[in-house]
Structure 1
Amino acid sequence: MTWVQPEDLVGHELRQAAQDGRDASAVERRWRDAGGHGAPPLAGASAEPAGPRLRALAERLLDELAELPVPSAAEEPTDLDAIVAACPDWPEGAGADRPPLPAGLADRVRGAWIGRAAGCVLGKPVEKIPREGIREIAEATGNWPIRGWFTAEGLPGAVARRWPWNRRSAPTSLAENIDGTPEDDDLNFPMLGLALLERYGPGFGTGDVARMWLDELPPGRVFTAERVAVRNLLLGLEPPDTARHRNPFREWIGAQIRADVHGWANPGDPAGAARAAYRDAVLSHTANGVYGAMYAAALTASSLVAADAEEAVLSAARVLPPGSRMAAAVWEAAALARAEPDFERVLDALHERHAGLHWVHSVNNAAAVTAALVHGGGDFTASITAVVSAGWDTDSDGATVGSVVGALTGADALPAYWTAPLRNRVASSLTGFDGITFDELTARTLALHRRP
């Protein structure tokens, strides 16, 4: 089982310690001297087998690392009241002050679901492939700058061997093979969130999210922080300890990909969306991992009423503590995209700025999403292709950007090139969702707005 073995977590936790300012040098020396390995660059586990002594040491060191003081904690709180207090421009509109539902909401919600699916499918084949590999693949097939689905047709063998597709997802997400929307965790989680809201209502708690996961979520379909949280639930831990106990992935992107539905359930109310996303996120994440979810939910809530992408970004960024790494990354990305007409130069700067982060960390991926939204200017094709060309978590970022721009434009205005191959259906291993249509997902999302 990858992502959960103690000896595979220490390297990731050491990297997390460096990012939040903990002095872990003594722990790192003990780990290296014992033969422990660093964080694998792509997967959660090393190919090196671990004996019982190394595993026992890993468990002790993980607990020692958890006790180290965190200098960034004051600027990056996880407590919701502290987050709200830290935001000088926290958006209004929660609870009784929620704005009236906008005209054309059904088309915009449907556009969000379809846009999320299209962006996800575009990014699926090149997930885990670095930026330079994505460009070489696209250039070799006449698709650079990226303007369409990836394809294996005409791809030279040498390029294919140098940059192999994501074997799990590429067969169903290449241009020549797309026949409906294939299953993906970036689509399963919004559907699970929809079911959560239907079952427990808008006042759901983090414990309800945990029950939903244990009831409905196939454990083999979750990774990183979510898999650790499931392990912790099965060990008998309760939130928020499920997010903190031996979980070095707690600031990665997992909660961010779960958050869109909380925005769709709170159109025009970024504060309400962010609060809901917070209750979902703290099952598995802390600090910047939670902020990523709050930002994504605020983005999707704003996108259902905003006039353009930059308005949605500016509204959503108000839920981010200004001293956090997430806020700095989002504001910097927006400024870069606004000032630089060449998006490749924007990406050069972002990759230099976030070079030390894992490819599925929340901070760098939120920066890529923000830059693509601002630079894309509401153009669906330009926006989703821009964020996928950034590398990092291509299917997750493509999904988020597609969701936001799909909501801004509405389903009727989305290009048929992107929508027709999806066949108005989504594959899923979630109970009751396999083969569900975007029409039904839209109707069920709209029904949430009529609940007390």
Structure 2
Amino acid sequence: MSRRTRTQLDRAAYAERLRAMWIGACIANWTGLRTEGVRTERPFFTDADWGKPLGRDGAPIDFVLLDPCLADDDTDIEYVYLHLMTEAGTLFLSPEQIRDGWRAHINEFIWVSNRRARDLMERGVLPPATSDPALNPESLQIDAQLTTEIFGALAPGMPELALRMADLPIRTTARDHAAHAAQFYVLLFSLAATVDPEKPRREEIVRIVREARSYLPDTSEAADVIDFVLSAALSVERPDERWESVRDAIARRYQEQAPAHGFVYRGFTESAINLATGTLALLLGGGSFRRTVQIGTLAGWDSDNGTATMGSLVALLGGMAELRRAFPGARLSERYRIHRTRPTLPDRLPEDREAEDTFAEISRRMVALVDLAVREEGGQVEPTRWVIARRASSPGTAAPHGPPPGP
């Protein structure tokens, strides 16, 4: 029998953190979109470019706060997964449920591996064959890294369960190191619940990065990326000011000199280099939402994706207090316009012509699934708290190629 530890998590406090996670994801996503694909090789952006009209179509590189928050591919596919899990009352979506959910709701605003997988589903191919490199040559792109973090948030403090829940959704679009990168993100979101608020957040972030990395096979290219960025980030004397040097080292290793290091640079949407910039933003953002989003937005390549992920993670760590600290006096939207990209999903705000859901309601539905997750792992669901049972960790156990693990 596997050894388990037990911890407690306040239900209301975590619900508030989930609400912040979604708001933070939307702010970070739309801020990062200002620079998506604008700088994919030298010269890159630096801190000096913040606020200047150098973004897409001359937009200023600055924070974007919308009301309502608009759906984009960094949040809408996870929203679909939440909808499917809620409707089915399950933590583990089957190949048929994923296929049917994608066919019903995911038809536009998808690119690269997501687009290939969706086209394969129309031809009768089921996940995980939709990421088979022989059928989907885009399976080493970034797609799964921006569509599956929700599974970690639904299994707070239960990383092994989070990996099981996310396994098939990840392998719907990703293989090899791209799947490991997505697993790393899922693990971070699960381990966010273990962060001690009494300890320096920067140190706790380094701890969960190391713990999440320990699940990946040492032979994975994703492991190489995380190890390299972690080492480089920890060697920076003044991380708030010298992040550009790490970003430039990333460019040398994974783009300009990629073959010499055993890598292939596959374009600005490929998995490895964007895993590197996302990890960079998290580590050198130091747990500050503003700084994490700034670094991610300026870092280059597919800059909205890693920025949305890490901004969302920092918001999950700090809750609404972190977002209010980031934008004192600002009105942060509570509304979400999912019909911008996924118009076949239910309208939960029929009297609101601009939005279809609220982040508080999204959080409520997630909490109901956390109840299932806690029970799945042998924990207790109580009116005001969860008693979470966690299995002993098994380094190197993340495995995207074996048969889908059952519940």
TM-score category, normalised to shorter length: 0.7 to 0.9
TM-score (norm 1): 0.68
The whole-number CA distance in structure 1 between the counterparts of 2:5 and 2:215 is 16
Q: Give the equivalent residue in structure 1 for 2:80.
A: 192
Letter in 2 for 1:369: G
Give secondary structure in 2 for the equivalent of 1:106. Answer: helix
Give secondary structure in 2 for the equivalent of 1:102. Answer: strand
Decide whether aligned partners of structure 1 residues 180 and 242 sit closer, same or farther in structure 2, where only a CA change above 3 A counts: same
Q: Give the equivalent residue in structure 2 for 1:239.
A: 127
TM-score (norm 2): 0.75
Decide whether aligned partners of structure 1 residues 133 and 111 sit closer, same or farther in structure 2, where only a CA change above 3 A counts: farther
Q: Does the Cα contact within 8 Å between 1:309 and 1:405 map onto a contact in 2?
A: no
1:438 aligns with 2:359: yes
The whole-number CA distance in structure 2 between the counterparts of 1:133 and 1:183 is 31
1:427 aligns with 2:337: yes
The whole-number CA distance in structure 2 between the counterparts of 1:248 and 1:362 is 13
Which of 160, 169, 184 pairs up with 1:295? Answer: 184
Q: Counting helix residues as a fraction of each chain, which structure ranks higher?
A: 1
1:335 aligns with 2:231: yes
Q: Does the Cα contact within 8 Å between 1:336 and 1:371 map onto a contact in 2?
A: no
Letter in 1 for 2:69: T
Q: Deviation at 1:107?
A: 2.6
1:312 aligns with 2:197: no
| Cα shift readout 1:198-227 (whole Å, capped 9, x = no counterpart) | 13311322332222111222x122111111
Q: Give the equivalent residue in structure 1 for 2:323.
A: 414
Give secondary structure in 2 for the equivalent of 1:304. Answer: helix
Give secondary structure in 2 for the equivalent of 1:165. Answer: helix
Decide whether aligned partners of structure 1 residues 176 and 305 sit closer, same or farther in structure 2, where only a CA change above 3 A counts: closer
1:102 aligns with 2:9: yes
Q: Give the equivalent residue in structure 2 for 1:353.
A: 253
Q: Give the equivalent residue in structure 2 for 1:393.
A: 302
Letter in 2 for 1:427: R
Letter in 1 for 2:358: T
The whole-number CA distance in structure 2 between the counterparts of 1:176 and 1:305 is 30
- Give the ranges of 4+ consecutive aligned residues of structure 1 lying more than 4 Å apart after TM superposition: 97-101, 131-134, 173-177, 416-419
- The within-5 A match list for 1:80-99 is 97=4, 99=6
- The within-5 A match list for 1:169-188 is 178-188=66-76
Larger Rg: 1
Give secondary structure in 2 for the equivalent of 1:231. Answer: helix
Q: Deviation at 1:280?
A: 0.6
Q: Deviation at 1:109?
A: 1.8
Q: Does the Cα contact within 8 Å between 1:365 and 1:392 map onto a contact in 2?
A: yes
Which of 273, 295, 309 pairs up with 2:162? Answer: 273
RMSD between aligned residues: 2.6
> Which sections of structure 1, spanning at least 5 residues, go unmatched?
1-91
Letter in 1 for 2:158: D
The whole-number CA distance in structure 2 between the counterparts of 1:202 and 1:370 is 27
Give secondary structure in 1 for the equivalent of 2:338. Answer: coil
Give secondary structure in 2 for the equivalent of 1:284. Answer: coil
1:450 aligns with 2:359: no
Q: Counting strand residues as a fraction of each chain, which structure ranks higher?
A: 2
1:344 aligns with 2:229: no
The whole-number CA distance in structure 1 between the counterparts of 2:65 and 2:214 is 41
Q: Does the Cα contact within 8 Å between 2:296 and 2:304 map onto a contact in 1?
A: no
> Which sections of structure 2, spanning at least 5 residues, go unmatched?
197-203, 256-264, 348-354, 376-407
Give secondary structure in 2 for the equivalent of 1:220. Answer: coil
Q: Give the equivalent residue in structure 1 for 2:35.
A: 126
Q: Does the Cα contact within 8 Å between 2:86 and 2:369 map onto a contact in 1?
A: yes
The whole-number CA distance in structure 2 between the counterparts of 1:120 and 1:204 is 26
The whole-number CA distance in structure 1 between the counterparts of 2:79 and 2:112 is 20
